[in-house]
């Protein structure tokens, strides 16, 4: 227990000076000391009882658990992976905690507390940490992969309205989510949507005239990653989340992710085929992005967002909002506030409550639990989409992709 | 009247410490068991690590908050100091705070004449100790790590006052620099935790204005209701203002004691 000897007494110090804590303990005493140490503000995780594993987050497993005291209250416990122990508490986990403590909103998942396991001989006197959240019954990816779950237009509007409300709130608090995808959108059995998994989130600032932010562009699951990130932009902002919102919105009708690239190159190709070629005309400044010149991009592609999504979406205002969310130029992409004022949310059928529809489904639906079925289905959809929608004008390119 | 005299002593202190700066010898931290010695160590290390001032201030707050919760004699204060520096780097996203630099700086500042540690057992146990202490601190603080520093409030108050007193007066004396210094130095004292960040900012700004004799137009020192800070912080009284000012001055007095020892 070298670390404890340090904590209680600095070995490099001659015992005659300064150190006020120079009492020595035997190994046994130290172990007992660690085991019995009381942290008044950080409860033990044993106050909850694990029920099932429900997912795999960016930095660890997620469990459903029951609070022992009440025996009725359910929580989700997200384990903090302490992979790189030598660097201490992971900075990503620390960021997630600080961000979640800051964000309190109906459409953002609620962090109840941080718990720890007792340090004992079995875990080498090192605690495991858990983030404890209010439990949500479903995630959107899980719901969409279950064909028995049917969303009416009003219900789709309610989902999107809540999603945009959540994004509006986090963006006005200067937070970027950076991992928007259907699996990170939770829905309670009462139909309340919660943005979750802030493991990649960070605070952002609006850079002054002459400076630029240098954030990592290795964020967002590939299928939901916006074009500016794929082209290497490091000075990005809230529009990265709005692109993801667009992908999720389309998914409400298509029932699986609309652009499922296997590589960044392929993802960019899919985006061009849907949203048109990347040119300085439609996107001034694109030529300055790091990868614009080094990556081969499809040329002369027309923008076909409405055309290709109309067969699924049908509702014209819905198509229009999708078109505005899936805008290539991040500066022109619609923001959460403007999107909430879009006609889509203010024409009949108006957004309608989800709880009634969800009450027919008594089992939790999570992507994690639905995985085998879902990935199959995605593959089918994938092929179908490519055969259906790609009029190969440029055969050589299609060959390379497939 | 006492308060006016204290400000004068501060003005004198600024002068005399300039002279002292040249004759100063490095402090042997382990030999001096006096209040304020560890915060001094934190800020020396922070400077050597080229930390942003906000990160350094954050480290000091983490350190003070930790020792508000526990018995100081239970822990090696210098270890907690090193760990607070490391944790503050993570909290403030200060990219330049790397664990190995923290270890080297923390070690060499404490052991003045030694070379940095080789990658031997002592290095690894110190690294382990810092990392474990970080977990101890985060748990002791209940993972409440959104530290609200007074700096941002000070900035806004100064922006407001700048227009109020007018550019000519404002630029005639280094008032912004003085206020920022008082604020940063107040972080040496655990008493900073006793006040709201907004109040701390007003207190430091108020001291800076008194140091340079700046009067805000259309305000009356004699009347509580017409003090210049009233529109900025409603829940602040003149009593609190004097308290904070005294606390800041105390930091400089204590510094003089430390350097004399």
Does residue B177 share a domain with residue B132? no
| Res B101 pLDDT > 90 | yes
C-alpha pair distances (Å), B34 with each of A18, B41, B44, B80: 9, 12, 16, 17
Question: Is residue A239 a contact partner of residue A180, using CB atoms and an 8 Å limit?
Answer: no
Between B44 and B222, the more confident residue is: B44
Q: Which residues in chain A are closer than 8 Å to B133, comparing Cβ atoms?
A: 7
User: Annotated catalytic, A241?
Assistant: no
The answer to whether residue B8 is domain-embedded is no
Q: In angstroms, what separates the C-alpha of B125 from chain A's closest C-alpha?
A: 6
pLDDT digits (tens, 9 = 90+) for B180-216: 999 999 999 999 999 999 999 999 999 999 999 888 8
- Average pLDDT in the B70-89 region? 94
Strands (E), A155-253: 175-176, 185-187, 193-195, 202-203
pLDDT at A128 (0 to 100): 87
Helix (H, G, I), strand (E, B) or coil at A268: helix
10-residue averages of pLDDT along chain A (402 residues): 41 38 71 82 90 75 92 91 78 91 96 90 83 94 92 97 98 96 94 94 84 84 95 95 98 95 94 95 94 89 94 95 97 98 97 92 75 45 38 30 21
Q: In this structure, are residues A350 and A157 in contact, taking their beta carbons and an 8 Å threshold?
A: yes
From residue B162, how far is each of A299, B168, B176, B216, B238 by CA, in Å?
Answer: 55, 9, 9, 10, 21
Final residue in a domain of this structure, among B116, B140, B164: B140
Q: How far is A9 from chain B (nearest CA, A)?
A: 6
Whether B6 maps to a domain, the answer reads no
Q: What is the DSSP string of A23-56?
A: ----HHHHHHHHHH---TTS-BGGGEEEEEEEEE
Cβ contact B128–A39 (<8 Å):
no
pLDDT score, position A349: 96
- B192 in a structural domain: yes
Long-range contacts formed by A273-276: CB under 8 A, 24+ apart: A273/A298, A273/A301, A273/A304, A273/A389, A273/A390, A274/A304, A274/A305, A274/A308, A274/A326, A275/A227, A275/A303, A275/A304, A275/A305, A275/A326, A275/A327, A275/A328, A276/A301, A276/A302, A276/A303, A276/A304, A276/A328
**Residue A287 to chain B, least CA–CA distance (Å):** 29
Check: CB of residue A298 under 8 Å from CB of residue A257. no
Q: Is the peptide bond before B137 cis (omega within 30 degrees of 0)?
A: no
User: Do B129 and B162 belong to one domain?
Assistant: no
B95 shares its domain with B175 = no
Top CATH class, A46-134: alpha beta
Residue B12 included in any domain: no
Minimal Cα–Cα distance from B245 to chain A, Å?
31
Annotated catalytic residue within A38, A139, A179, A233: A179
- Name the residue facing A18 among B33, B90, B136 (closest C-beta): B33
A183, A367 contact by CB (below 8 A): yes
Chain B positions in Cβ-Cβ contact with residue A86 (cut-off 8 Å): 99, 127-128, 131
Mutate to test the interface with B, among A80, A86, A88 (most CBs of B within 10 A): A88
Residue B2 belongs to some domain of the structure: no
Q: Where are the alpha helices (DSSP H) in A260-333?
A: 264-275, 305-313, 316-325
User: What is the distance in angstroms between the Cα of A124 and the nearest Cα belonging to chain B?
Assistant: 13
| DSSP β-bridge partners for residue A45 | none
The domain spanning residue B235 has which CATH number? 1.10.472.10
Contact of A289 with A233, CB cutoff 8 Å? yes
ipTM of the complex: 0.71
**Same domain flag for B111 and B54:** yes
Q: How far is it, in rounded angstroms, from Cα A219 to Cα A176?
A: 11
Single out the residue of B31, B127, B141, B140 nearest to residue B79, CA to CA.
B127
Chain length of chain A: 402
The CATH T-level fold of domain A138-401 is Transferase(Phosphotransferase); domain 1 (1.10.510)
Between CA A72 and CA B29 the distance in angstroms is 54
- Average pLDDT, integer, range B86-92: 95
User: Is A87–B99 a contact, with Cβ atoms under 8 angstroms apart?
Assistant: yes
Per-domain residue ranges of chain A: 46-134, 138-401
**Token digits of residue A361:** 């489904």
All residues at 6 or more sequence positions from B71 whose CB lies less than 8 Å from its CB, including other chains: none
Cα R_g (chain B), whole angstroms: 20
Q: Which of B107, B140, B173 is the last residue of a domain?
A: B140
Give residue A59's pLDDT. Answer: 56
Q: Are A102 and B146 an interchain contact pair (Cβ–Cβ within 8 Å)? A: yes
Of B76, B121, B136, the CB nearest to A19: B76
How many Cβ atoms from other residues are within 10 Å of residue B220's Cβ?
A: 12
For position A143, what pLDDT does the model report? 94
Please enumerate, by residue number, every residue of A annotated as part of a binding site for ATP: 78
Contact assessment for residue B77 and residue A6, using Cβ atoms and an 8 Å cutoff: no
Greater pLDDT, A240 or B4? A240
Phi, psi angle pair for A56, to nearest 5°: -130, 105
Q: What is the DSSP letter of A342?
A: S
Q: Is B155 found in the same domain as B127? A: no
Separation CA B58–CA A298 (nearest Å): 49
Inside any domain, residue B13? no
CB contact under 8 A, A41 and B132: no
Structure tokens at B117: 């540690």
Cβ–Cβ below 8 Å for B76 and A39: no
Q: Is residue B87 part of a domain?
A: yes
User: Do residues B37 and B129 both lie within one domain?
Assistant: yes
Structure tokens at A51: 């029920």
pLDDT at residue number A12: 40
Write out the residue range of the structural domain in which residue B64 sits.
23-140
Q: pTM score, two decimals?
A: 0.79
Pairing of strands A193-195, A185-187: antiparallel
Chain B neighbors of A203, CB-CB under 8 A: 93
- Sign of the torsion angle spanned by Cα atoms A348, A352, A358, A364: positive
| Nearest by CB: A97 against B99, B125, B143 | B143
Residues of A whose CB is below 8 A from B142: 41-42, 114
Domain boundary, last residue among B88, B110, B140 = B140
Judged by CB atoms closer than 8 Å, whether chains meet at A6 and B75 is answered as no
| Same-domain check for residues B126 and B159 | no
B/e letters for A155-186, b = 16+ CB within 10 Å, e = fewer, are bbbbbbbbbbbbbbbbbeeebbbbbbbbbbbb
Instruction: Decide if A20 and B77 are in contact by the 8 Å CB cutoff.
Output: yes
**What is the DSSP secondary-structure string of B13-63?**
HHHHHHHHHHHPPPP-TTT---TTHHHHHHHHHHHHTT--HHHHHHHHHHH
- Please count the structural domains in chain B: 2
Residue A94 sits at the chain B interface (C-beta within 8 Å): yes
Q: Is A10 on the interface with B (CB under 8 A)?
A: yes
Measured in angstroms, the CA of B213 and the nearest CA of chain A are apart by 34
Supply the DSSP symbol for B73.
Answer: G
Task: Test A8 with B76 for CB contact under 8 angstroms.
Answer: yes
Task: Tell me the mean pLDDT in the region B21-39.
Answer: 80
Stretch among A292-306, B20-34, B50-64, B145-159 having the lowest mean pLDDT:
B20-34
Residues 231-290, chain A, touching B (beta carbon < 8 A): none
Q: Are residues B157 and B246 in the same domain?
A: yes
pLDDT at B10 exceeding the cut of 80: no
Q: What is the pLDDT of residue A81?
A: 83
- Whose CA is closest to A41, among A101, A114, A105? A114
Look at residues A222, A175, A226, A174 and name the one whose alpha carbon lies nearest to residue A200: A175
Report the alpha-carbon angle A254-A226-A280, nearest 5: 120
Determine the residue of chain A that is closest to B95 in CA distance: A91
Same domain, B178 and B219: yes
Alpha helices by DSSP H, listed for chain B, are 2-23, 37-48, 53-69, 77-91, 99-110, 121-140, 151-165, 167-172, 175-186, 197-211, 238-260
pLDDT of B197 reads: 97
Whether B30 sits inside 8 A of A13 (CB atoms) is yes
* pLDDT for residue B22: 53
Q: How many CB atoms lie within 10 A of CB A65?
A: 23
Over 70: is that where the pLDDT of B4 sits?
no
Residue numbers belonging to the annotated binding site of A: 78
Q: Which letter, b or e, does each residue of A207-227 get, where b requires 16 or more Cβ atoms within 10 Å of its Cβ?
A: eeeeeeeebebebbbbbbbbb
Contacts of A101 in chain B (CB under 8 A): 143-146
Q: Which of B79, B87, B138 sits opposite A6 (nearest CB)?
A: B79
Amino acid A194: pLDDT: 97
CA distances from A28 to A24, A176, B59, B125 (A): 12, 47, 33, 19
Same domain, B184 and B253: yes
- Per CB-CB distance under 8 Å, the chain A contacts of B76 are 6-10, 19, 21
The Cα–Cα gap between A11 and B74 comes to 15
Q: Any idea what DSSP says for residue A108? A: B
**Same-domain status, B167 and B114:** no
* Whether residue B193 sits in one domain with residue B119: no
């Amino acid at each position: 227990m070298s670390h404890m000897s340090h904590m209680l007494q600095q070995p490099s110090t001659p015992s005659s000076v300064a150190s006020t804590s120079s009492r020595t303990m035997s190994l046994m005493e130290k172990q007992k000391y660690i085991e019995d140490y009381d942290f008044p503000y950080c409860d033990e995780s044993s106050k909850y009882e694990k029920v099932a594993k429900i997912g795999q987050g960016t930095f660890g497993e997620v469990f459903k658990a029951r609070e022992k005291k009440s025996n009725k209250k359910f929580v989700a416990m997200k384990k903090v992976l302490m992979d790189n122990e030598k660097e201490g508490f992971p900075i990503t986990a620390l960021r997630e905690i600080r961000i979640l403590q800051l964000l309190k909103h109906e459409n953002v998942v609620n962090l109840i507390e941080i718990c720890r396991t007792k340090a004992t001989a079995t875990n080498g006197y090192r605690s495991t940490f858990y983030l404890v959240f209010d439990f949500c019954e479903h995630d959107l990816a899980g719901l969409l992969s279950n064909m028995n779950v049917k969303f009416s237009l009003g219900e789709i509007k309610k989902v999107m309205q809540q999603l945009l409300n959540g994004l509006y709130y986090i963006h006005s608090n200067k937070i970027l989510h950076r991992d928007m995808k259907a699996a990170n959108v939770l829905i309670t059995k009462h139909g309340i949507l919660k943005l979750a998994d802030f493991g990649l989130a960070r605070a952002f600032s609006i850079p002054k005239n002459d400076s630029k932010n240098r954030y990592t562009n290795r964020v967002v699951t590939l299928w939901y990653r916006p074009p500016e990130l794929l082209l290497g932009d490091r000075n990005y902002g809230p529009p990265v989340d709005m692109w993801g919102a667009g992908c999720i919105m389309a998914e409400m009708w298509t029932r699986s992710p609309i652009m499922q690239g296997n590589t960044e190159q392929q993802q960019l190709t899919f985006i061009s085929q849907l949203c048109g070629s990347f040119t300085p005309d439609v996107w001034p400044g694109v030529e300055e992005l790091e990868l614009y010149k080094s990556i081969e991009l499809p040329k002369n592609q027309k923008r076909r967002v409405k055309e290709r999504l109309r067969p699924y979406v049908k509702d014209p205002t819905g198509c229009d909002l999708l078109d505005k969310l899936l805008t290539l130029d991040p500066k022109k992409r619609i923001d959460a506030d403007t999107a909430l004022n879009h006609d889509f949310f203010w024409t009949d059928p108006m957004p309608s409550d989800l709880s009634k529809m969800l009450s027919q489904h008594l089992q939790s639906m999570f992507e994690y639990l639905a995985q085998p079925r879902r990935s199959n289905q995605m593959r089918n959809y994938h092929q179908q989409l490519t055969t259906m929608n790609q009029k190969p004008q440029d055969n050589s390119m299609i060959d390379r992709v497939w | 009247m006492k308060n006016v005299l204290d400000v004068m002593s501060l003005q004198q202190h600024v002068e005399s410490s300039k002279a002292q700066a040249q004759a100063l010898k490095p402090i042997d931290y382990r030999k001096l068991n006096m209040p304020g010695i560890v915060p001094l160590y934190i800020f020396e290390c922070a400077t050597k690590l080229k930390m942003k001032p906000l990160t350094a201030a954050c480290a000091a707050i983490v350190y003070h908050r930790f020792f508000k919760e526990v018995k100081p004699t239970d822990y090696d204060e210098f270890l907690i100091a090193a760990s607070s520096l490391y944790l503050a780097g993570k909290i403030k996203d200060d990219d330049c705070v790397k664990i190995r630099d923290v270890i080297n700086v923390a070690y060499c500042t404490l052991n003045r004449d030694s070379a940095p540690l080789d990658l031997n057992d002592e290095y690894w146990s110190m690294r382990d100790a810092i990392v474990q202490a970080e977990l101890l601190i985060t748990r002791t603080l209940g993972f409440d790590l959104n530290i609200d520093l007074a700096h941002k409030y000070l900035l806004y108050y100064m922006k407001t006052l700048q227009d109020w007193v007018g550019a000519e007066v404002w630029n005639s004396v280094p008032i912004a620099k003085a206020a920022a210094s008082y604020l940063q130095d107040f972080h040496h004292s655990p008493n900073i935790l006793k006040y709201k960040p907004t109040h701390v900012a007003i207190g430091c700004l108020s001291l800076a204005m008194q140091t340079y004799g700046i009067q805000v137009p259309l305000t009356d020192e004699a009347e509580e209701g017409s003090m210049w800070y009233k529109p900025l912080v409603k829940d602040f009284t003149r009593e609190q203002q004097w308290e904070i000012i005294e606390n800041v001055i105390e930091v400089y007095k204590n510094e003089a004691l430390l350097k004399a020892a």
